[in-house]
Amino acid sequence: MTTAVLAKIKHQKIGKLPLVILPLAQWQKVEAILEDYEMLRSLKYRKSIAESRKQIKQGKVRRLNLKTGKFEKVQKP
């Protein structure tokens, strides 16, 4: 997907620095991909996911059932 978006980009040079001009919609796609990439590389984020999975296995996590209005245990994946 990223290569398809980048293939549509027109490159220009102003002085010695390359300049890339993108329509806003395409930039938002690239920005979302970059944010996901940075988030997945984050050690703190990965530790948070591991801790959450551990809590689910231990039965410490509960979810609100919107139909009954009561909290119930989250099922193990």
pTM: 0.47
Per-residue pLDDT tens digits for 19-52: 778 899 999 999 999 998 998 889 998 898 899 8
Rounded distance between C-alpha atoms, residue 31 and residue 37, angstroms: 10
Per-residue pLDDT tens digits for 45-60: 889 889 988 888 888 8
Closest C-alpha among 45, 10, 5, 42 to residue 27:
5
pLDDT at 70: 84
pLDDT at 29: 93
